[in-house]
Structures are given as C-alpha cells and as structure tokens.
Chain A
Amino acid sequence: MKILVPVKRVIDYNVKPRVKADGSGVDLANVKMSMNPFDEISVEEAIRLKEAGKAEEIVAVSVGPAKAQETLRTALAMGADRAILVQTDDEVEPLAVAKILKAIVEAEDPGLVILGKQAIDDDSNQTGQMLAALLGWGQGTFANTVEVGDGTIDVKREIDGGLQTVQLKLPAIVTTDLRLNEPRYASLPNIMKAKSKPLDQKTPADYGVDTAPRLTTSKVTEPPKREAGEILEDVDTLVAKLKEMGVA
C-alpha cells in the first residue's frame, strides 16, 4: 500500500501571531515557519505503518510557496520516500487543496491518505473531510489510534464525549489528532539523505484545478484584549472574591 501525506508550511506553533496594523492579515515576515504540528503526526503515523510492514511507500505532498520545499524536506528527513510540491504563491483554500489532492490521488493510487485534522493558521479543519467527499471514500477524523486490517482500517476517534471507533473500507482518509503518536526528530544523517530524495514540482494548473478563492477576507483584527488582573495575597482573599461573585 502507498500512503499519501499532505503537509502544510505554517507559522511555528511557539510563535505568537501578530495582527498587521492595517488589518490586512497576520504578519508573517521574518517569522519562524514550520510543518503544521498535526501534519508531523501524519508523517509519523505513515512511517510507523511502513515500519510495521503495512505500507511500502510514503509520498509527501504540499500545496504552497517555493519555501514549502523545506517542509517537504522535513517530511523526507523523517522518513517519507518522495515528495510533490504543488507550487503557488496564492492562498489556496481547503476546497481547492482537496481538489488538487484528489487529482494527485487519482494519479498515485494510494491506499490511505493521512492528513492533519487542522492547520494551526486558518484553523479550518476541512481538507480531509472534503477530500473524502470528493473521492467518495470513508473518513476517520481526529484519529487517536489506527489499525490497518485486511482491506479495512479501524480508527479510534477523539470525540466530544470520549472515544469512538469506526471501521472504514480501504482506500480511506484519516485525519490526525494530538494523541495518535509523538513525531520523531529527523537525525542529521537522515536530513542529509533527504536532500537527494526525489521532489517533483507541479502547479495547480497541472491538475486543472482553479484555485480562485470563494471567501474574501475584508479585515483581520486583534481579539478583545484581556488585561492582567491582580495578584491576591492569600487563599482567604480568593475565597472572599469567590463569595463576592456568588459562586461560593
């Protein structure tokens, strides 16, 4: 089985995003960028499935600017076999990304696509579900544990009330949640090796996908600010405050 793993280059999760003064967006100039944390979990899961003999090849894909090559190299250094960059400087919405991925799936014929459940920049949480719909495949979203069987995959999902297990027919879509695994760090020799792994360059037009956005963002603002309050001297003062609030 071949596994396709889409990855996105996003602001590093340790960086506090700053809204631009003119309200046009979030300032990404000179900001550290990294692989979306949920996508790291996807890459890791694909590698573990390969190590367990459930998969033969892992193909990493990214839709984004030329610099997304770095993100793909990270995936290759972790253990992906080859990569495809669908290069565009435009912001591509989840629906258009899903359409590009559908075309890649049709060309590559993977048995499984593992995606992060959401990207930490736009927080959309859509691409995996959309890709599943476009392909007519089953979807195991917010995966906590996956188990590949014979022509099926069991996905234990993190849901609001606890955990739910579903069984999907393969090929299928899985989206990752935080507890699925702990991604490995790439070793220096593997980082060196990744430089010579194949990386194909494509464009959205190669797949015949129109990436014109459906949504327009008219402004981006800071959320209402919370001010730091007071540090209380002791627990008694806190008890008094709670009584004032009527909760104790």
Chain B
Amino acid sequence: MKTLVWVEHDNAQMKDATLAAVTAASKLGEVHAIVAGSGCQAVADQAAKVAGIGKVHLADDAAYANALPENVAPLIADLMGHHDAFVAPATTTGKNIAPRVAALLDVMQISDILSVEGDKTFTRPIYAGNAIATVTTSDEKLVITVRGTAFDKAATEGGSGEVEAVSGSGDAGLSAFVSEEIAKSDRPELTSAKIIVSGGRALGSSEKFEEVITPLADKLGAGIGASRAAVDAGYVPNDYQVGQTGKIVAPEVYIAIGISGAIQHLAGMKDSKTIIAINKDEDAPIFQIADYGIVADLFNAVPELTGKL
C-alpha cells in the first residue's frame, strides 16, 4: 500500500504531530508525504530526512500558505490517484482537511485511530474514549486521521527521501485567510510536553490561574493545560483546553488542580502515565483515576508544593 502523509508545518518548520502520523502510515506500507505551503522548501527538506518517508511531494503556491481546505483538498485528492491511503495527524488542521478529501474521493474517513490492526482495520475511540471500536472499511482508498498520543514519533533523522515538486489548481476562490492570533510561549507544547500542570474552574479567575498554576509549571518546566470550565470562564485561551473536543494529551505526569474530572476532560488526559490530583472535594471523580491525590484547598497546597520543589 502506498500512503500519503499530511506534513503539518508553518511554512518554516515541520510540526511534531506529523511524526506520529508517519509511524501509523508506515504500518500500512510505503510512506510518501505532502508538503503544501508557500515558500516551504525547508519543510520539504526536513520531511525528507524523517525516517521512513520515501518521497516528499512539494506543492509550493501562495494559495497553500495557510492550508485552506478549499485549496488543499483538491490537490490531495489528485495525488490520491496514485496513493492508497491519506494519513493526517488529528490536529485542527488535519481534522479540517481530511474529511474534505474523503468526500471528494467518496470514502468514509476513519477518525482519530489508536492502532492499525490490518490493511483496512483500525481501532478508534468513541463516546469520549469511554469505548474503543474496531472498525474495518470497505472503501478502496483510505482517509485516516491519527491520534498523536497513540503512536511513537518517527525519527527526524536518518531518512533520505526525494523531494518532487507537484502543482495543483491553486486558489479555489471560496475562502481567504484573514489573520491569526497565535500565542507565543516558551513553554512545551501541550501535545508533546512531558509534564502538564492543568487548572480548573476552582481557580476562580485568570489572575489566580496565573498566580497559582504558572509558578508550579515554571518550576517543573511543564506545559499548562486547563479544563473546559476554566476556558469557558475566560481564565485562559482556548488552546489550553484538554478534553474530548480539545487537546488529547498523554504526558509522563499530569497534575490536575481544581479539576473535578468530568468525563469530557478525562477523555483528553486519562492516558497520561501518572496522574496527580489536587482538589478539596474528596468525592471529585478525578480521584477515581488519579495515581496520587491530595485532598486540600489548592490555594494552600499548590504554593506549598511550588515552594518545596
């Protein structure tokens, strides 16, 4: 089987999320990659070095600069004429593009796979991860998105793929990029952080969130996450959200502070290696899955913890 992996990037740097998709694709067969962007030769060169990628298709066109699905999906659908499976990381970009490709090819996408069980058989989470379905597709061509935490990352060195320029139909004239507000932070990205400190509604305000959560995260060199309740309340921006419809994370250590543990939140973090919960409500559901818990007022316990580290 010949696969085509979506390379996620910002036109300068390949994103880590690509690497788990490469690993998943390599279980299906030969791995090719598509780098669609503008002035993105450097990304194609990085992708060509990834272990396992045999060929990189580079579509360099101003219309592809922001990965608008209206422009990019037809390009991929064309390339699928000589590939058998399109494999994208289940990022917001992958989730935006892949179903559009699937519909153009008249196939059912298999979303957010956890494992490859055979040429056409995969496992995937349903019901916020409360159930795992084993699904087999009858479609000839496959369109798949890959859950990043479920696959090892392919090595970024060691490959020697060739880069081949391709062109598509460019701007479909349906959509235009206007602007982006991307948080700049020196912190590790949530989806690749080894430690995550996450705060919930009990923090009470954005000032308290900053005052209590940030120093602990600084001490541990951790990424910062949040529950939906904390995001909805405006304590932190949307890109902090961990959960069923936010980010799916699986760090070595996840510290849940003032998070009760709604199933939608657990869906995003229960594959973490060690879960630590600090909550004053001893009946909070988070304690049912935490490896270590402290029943205490977070406003006392967390500063104390930060001080003693």
Residues of A within 8 A of B (CB): 11, 13, 16-17, 19, 25-26, 38, 93-95, 98, 117-118, 120-134, 136-139, 141-142, 144, 154, 157-169, 172, 177-179, 213-223, 226, 228-232, 234-236, 238-239, 241-242, 245, 247-248
Are B96 and A141 interface neighbours, CB within 8 A? yes
The distance from the CB of B51 to the nearest CB of chain A, in whole angstroms, is 24
B286 nearest in chain A by CB position: A228
B93 partner residues in chain A, CB cutoff 8 A: 159-160
Closest to B117 in A: A218
B228–A178 CB distance below 8 A = yes
User: Does B1 have its Cβ within 8 Å of any Cβ on chain A?
Assistant: no
Cross-interface CB contact of A160 among B98, B99, B247, B275, cutoff 8 Å:
B247
30 example contacts (A-B, Cβ-Cβ < 8 A) are as follows: A17-B131, A95-B107, A95-B109, A121-B127, A129-B95, A132-B69, A133-B100, A139-B100, A141-B96, A159-B239, A160-B247, A161-B182, A163-B180, A163-B181, A164-B177, A169-B173, A177-B238, A178-B232, A216-B138, A217-B135, A219-B133, A220-B134, A222-B132, A229-B290, A231-B287, A231-B294, A234-B294, A235-B301, A242-B253, A247-B195
Which of A120, A164, A214 has a CB less than 8 Å from the CB of B127? A120
List chain B positions with a Cβ less than 8 A from chain A: 66, 68-70, 73, 91-93, 95-104, 106-112, 121, 125-139, 173-183, 191, 194-195, 219-220, 228, 231-232, 237-239, 244-245, 247, 252-253, 263-264, 270, 274-276, 282, 287-296, 301, 304-305, 308-309
Task: Pick the residue among A123, A159, A164, A229 that contacts B291 (CB under 8 A).
Answer: A229
**Assembled-state Cα–Cα distance A84/B232 (Å):** 32
Contact across chains for B127 and A26 when beta carbons are under 8 A apart: yes
Find chain A residues with CB under 8 A from B304 CB: 235
How distant is the Cα of A158 from the Cα of B106 in the complex, in angstroms? Answer: 27
Q: Please name all residues of chain A whose beta carbon is closer than 8 Å to the beta carbon of B139 when the two chains form the complex.
A: 214
B125 touches A228 (CB 8 A): no
> Given A95-B107, A169-B175 in contact, is the A229-B292 Cβ separation under 8 Å?
yes
Complex-state Cα separation, A17 to B126, whole angstroms: 10
Q: Beyond A19-B130, A118-B245, A141-B92, list 13 extra A-B contacts (CB 8 Å).
A: A120-B244, A121-B127, A123-B244, A125-B99, A130-B102, A133-B101, A162-B182, A164-B181, A165-B177, A215-B108, A215-B138, A228-B290, A239-B308
The reply to whether B92 and A142 form a contact with Cβ atoms under 8 Å apart is: yes
Decide if B239 touches A19 in the complex (CB within 8 Å). no
Known contacts A160-B247, A231-B293; A179 and B238 CB within 8 A of each other:
yes
Contact of A215 among B110, B174, B289, B291 (CB under 8 A): B110
CA distance A248 to B108 in the complex (A): 46
Given A177-B245, A239-B305, A228:B175 Cβ within 8 A? no
Residues B126 and A26 in contact, CB atoms below 8 Å apart: yes
A141 to B96, CA, bound (A): 7
Contact A247 to B253, CB < 8 A, known contacts A129-B69, A139-B69:
yes
Question: Interface majority SS on A: helix, strand, loop or mixed?
Answer: mixed
Are B131 and A222 closer than 8 Å at their CB atoms?
Answer: yes
Contact of A236 among B69, B179, B244, B308 (CB under 8 A): B308
Q: How far is the CA of A236 from the CA of B97 in the complex (A)?
A: 48
Please report the C-alpha to C-alpha distance between residue A232 and residue B108 in the assembled complex, in whole angstroms: 48
A19: chain B residues within 8 A (beta carbon): 130-131
Q: Do B95 and A94 have beta carbons less than 8 Å apart? A: no
CA of A230 to CA of B277 in the docked complex: distance in angstroms? Answer: 10
Chain B residues within an 8 Å CB radius of A248: 219-220, 309
